Structure 1
Amino acid sequence: MKLGMIGLGRMGANMAQRLMKGGHQIVGFDPQAAARKDLEGKGAQTADSLTALVAALPSPRTLWLMVPAGEATDANLDALLPLLAAGDTIIDGGNSFYKDSMRRAKRFAERDIAYVDCGTSGGIWGLDEGYSLMIGGDEAAVERMRPIFESLAPAKDRGWARVGPAGAGHFAKMVHNGIEYGMMQAYAEGFSILRHKAEFDMDLQQVAEIWRYGSVVRSWLLDLTADALKKNPDMSGIAPYVADSGEGRWTVDEAIELNVPAPIITQSLIERLRSRDKDSFTDKLLSAMRNEFGGHPIKKA
């Protein structure tokens, strides 16, 4: 199958390479010439505009988007819509908000263009390990794209599936990332407790390696944690600032809307927000209140 790949950042380029290994032909587009040149060096064809990209694909066309969620995705879709025809398919493999995917699918369906939302997990390791793919959209459209998903997944018969109609793929990925927040927070807190027990002077990387085999808390995230501790046991040079890309917030919002208690995911998001407050007014006021009601000393800055 010959398909277009829009967005040749690290993950998009890796996905293009895995597809080529699966026997697919790739025509890639990215506004950055260096990204296009890099993919050309790996054996793919590239185009220097969306118009040229669409022209290089046989009908019915298949285009895979790997661009940031929100405005960037909408901008690309706005530009693509007049270039496409009935029977074409767009797959959004980024981290779009599921309600945006539902809206976009409806818009493209009016032109008889299939819109498939594909929640994609696997990060930079997906090139070698394969990607976990949570897919939403019309059942027939997803089935037509089966060769693509089979090439990207860890195996043809596992790691991917259609999970529901338009929006369902990105909804599943949103919740997946919310769970990821909680798991990461638990690992980080646990290893911090071990580190603070100074009298035992534990080798945290050693403990992580023990837990990787046979333990009920073993996981790929633990494998990555062990690797990080091996490279940098003291986390030196790393600022205590944790970003979030939006999916955790969306998961918490959805939990509230559905009246589903999600304290772990919610608190893990709060901790990320807290990590960015370098001059916490909250903590200063708490200290002042303790001084007011109990005369407790205030630590001066």
Structure 2
Amino acid sequence: MSDASAHIGVTGLAVMGRNLARNFARNGFTVAVHNRTPARTRALVDEFGHEGTFVPAETAKELVAALQRPRRLMVMVQAGEATDAVIDEFAPLLEAGDMIIDGGNAHFADTRRREAALREQGIHFVGAGVSGGEEGALNGPSIMPGGSAESYAVLGPMFEAISAKVDGEPMSTHVGTDGAGHFVKMVHNGIEYADMQLIAEAYDLLRQVGRYTPAEIADVFRTWNTGRLDSYLIEITAEVLAHTDADTGLPFVDIVADAAGQKGTGRWTVQSALDLGSPATAIAQATFARAASSQEALRTAYRELPGGVSPDLTRSEAARFTAQVEQALYASKVIAYDQGFTMIRDAADEYGWDIDLGAVAGIWRAGCIIRAAFLDRVRAAYAESPALPSLLSQPEFAAEITAAQVPWRETVASATRRGIPVPALSAALAHYDTLRAGRLPAALLQGQRDYFGAHTYRRTDRPGSFHTHWAKADRPETQS
């Protein structure tokens, strides 16, 4: 092996790892590459060696020897045990000040554990969320690195060089310490679940209520993509709906099985929201909707049960309904993103992370799956008021939600009357109504809890915790 010349090493050369290595090389960095199967390493160099300078390594020792100090090693393997195995293999070969970067979809709790363990050895561990899929990895992803400020001082310029850009601004920032980067990436994916489900429900309503064809709905989405709903997901939805299956000549969407898969980050988001007590209900319902779609036996049992009525609309009524759906989709999208940002803030309070929500919105404007035009406004809202408790506290967003009130409610009501499932749209509206309510039935819940479990309750007229002796009506309440 030649002298240490590589700026960064990448181990794990499946699609994401290979494309990130190529991205680094294309941006002028010398990249040491390694894979458990040496043939994959050789194939990368043979096929893409003209794109930049690669240093192939067949063993862990060769890879480490090829790296400049402080060594920067990016791990791109499957989350979980595989990541731990790679860390266990490489950590003994590294020295204090060196860095291991996990660019996979790791659970943030695992990242916190690994960061703490490696910190004891003087090694910086960086959990870096990378969004944008294989195309983003190659051409410019959104990167959400956690870890120490010292590590970002070294890695930041490299990540910023390979990231997506908006008007020259890189889509990478230091998110926070230990697991903050992977937590933010997890929430990004949870928002992605919600956004996709909301779009799917809007499509279903236009199809079943408006009686539009997939091609006609594609045109609707193209129109929406020129306005406030401008986003990557709206853009690709139009492409999917316009696509015709080559074998049957049918709309592509009609020949795809209606059972959605998931890789786990949506579940992690929901589980973490429960742990934090953060009401990410639209994200949760989107995740459960995927789970329900794959419950074949359960769906069969329910299929013949009665539903709602589906009166036909005139074309003018369908056009009016389409405008209502746009309002409902936009309002629900704002709620879903607000739930995500609230969850990040709640986690920052819980784990001691100093996360700039405006900066997070900023790096989601390009390179990632949930990139959307309105994130410019989200970034501006948090830049103006970093302690903003909700996006709906910002006057412009509040005005839009106010304008959406009637069509949002009519859309959900129309779906309910017709028996069309809209779990995410309904959850977003219910979340809005829950938080705007002057008084909630939680008061009754507290009474129930005190009755069966003596859990106590607080009163509205004086401070303290109280318990009522329910079995003896003549005995007074007690204060604790």
**TM-score, normalised on structure 1?**
0.88
Q: Which amino acid aligns with 2:123?
A: I
CA distance in 1, matches of 2:243, 2:197: 20
- The residue identity in structure 2 corresponding to 1:80 is F
What's the secondary structure of 2:229's corresponding residue?
Answer: coil
Deviation of 1:246 (Å): 1.5
Residue from 59, 65, 75 that aligns with 1:65? 75
How far apart are 1:157 and its partner, in Å? 3.5
Structure 2 partner of 1:181? 193
Aligned pairs for 1:121-160 (under 5 A) are 121-127=131-137, 129-155=139-165, 157-160=169-172
Q: 2:41 & 2:182 partners in 1: Cα distance?
A: 27
Alignment of 1:190-269 (within 5 A): 190-197=202-209, 199-201=211-213, 203-214=216-227, 216-232=228-244, 233-269=251-287
Alpha-carbon distance, 1:102 to partner:
0.7
Matched, 1:47 2:57: yes
Q: What residue is the counterpart of 1:168 in the other structure?
A: 180
1:77-128 alpha-carbon deviations (Å, 9 max, x no partner): 1111111111211111111111111110111111111111111111122156
Please say if residues 23 and 139 of structure 2, whose CA atoms lie closer than 8 Å, have aligned partners that are also in contact: no
Matched, 1:109 2:119: yes
Which runs of no fewer than 5 residues in structure 2 stay unpaired? 1-5, 245-250, 306-480
Q: Distance in 1 between matches of 2:203 and 2:85?
A: 43
Separation in structure 1 between the aligned mates of residue 169 and residue 127 of structure 2, nearest angstrom: 20
| 1:81 equivalent in structure 2 | 91
Conserved 8 A contact 1:138-1:165: yes
Helix, strand or coil: the match of 2:197?
Answer: helix
Report the alpha carbon displacement of residue 283 of structure 1 after superposing the two structures with TM: 5.9
Q: Does 1:119 align with 2:129?
A: yes
Tell me which residue corresponds to 1:275.
Answer: 293
Q: What is the letter of the counterpart of residue 78 of structure 2?
A: P
Q: Distance between the aligned counterparts of 2:112 and 2:217, measured in 1?
A: 45
Residue in structure 2 matched with residue 284 of structure 1 by the alignment: 301
The one-character-per-residue Cα deviations of 1:132-169 (angstroms, maximum 9, x if unpaired) are 11111110111111221112211363311111111000
CA shift for structure 1 position 171? 0.7
- Structure 1 residue aligned with 2:8: 3
Aligned equivalent of 1:56: 66
- Separation (CA, whole Å) in 2 of partners of 1:122 and 1:241: 23
2:296 aligns to what SS in structure 1? coil
Query: Could you tell me which amino acid in structure 2 is paired with residue 25 of structure 1?
Result: T
Q: What is the match of residue 295 of structure 1?
A: none
The CA deviation at 1:200 is: 4.2
Structure 2: distance between partners of 1:21 and 1:247: 30
> Any conservation in 2 of the 1:87–1:114 contact (CA below 8 Å)?
yes
Per-residue deviation at 1:240? 2.0
- TM-fit CA distance, 1:61: 1.2
Matches within 5 A, 1:12-51: 12-40=17-45, 41-43=47-49, 44-51=54-61
Contact 2:20 2:138 in 1 (8 A): no
Tell me, in whole angstroms, the C-alpha distance in 1 between the residues paired with 2:61 and 2:202: 52
Q: Percent identity?
A: 37
Decide which structure has the larger Cα Rg and report it.
Answer: 2
Consecutive unaligned residues of structure 1, counting only runs of 5 or more, are 289-301
Please give the secondary structure, in 2, of the residue aligned with 1:145. Answer: helix
Structure 2: which amino acid aligns with 1:161? Answer: T
The number of residue pairs the alignment matches comes to 288
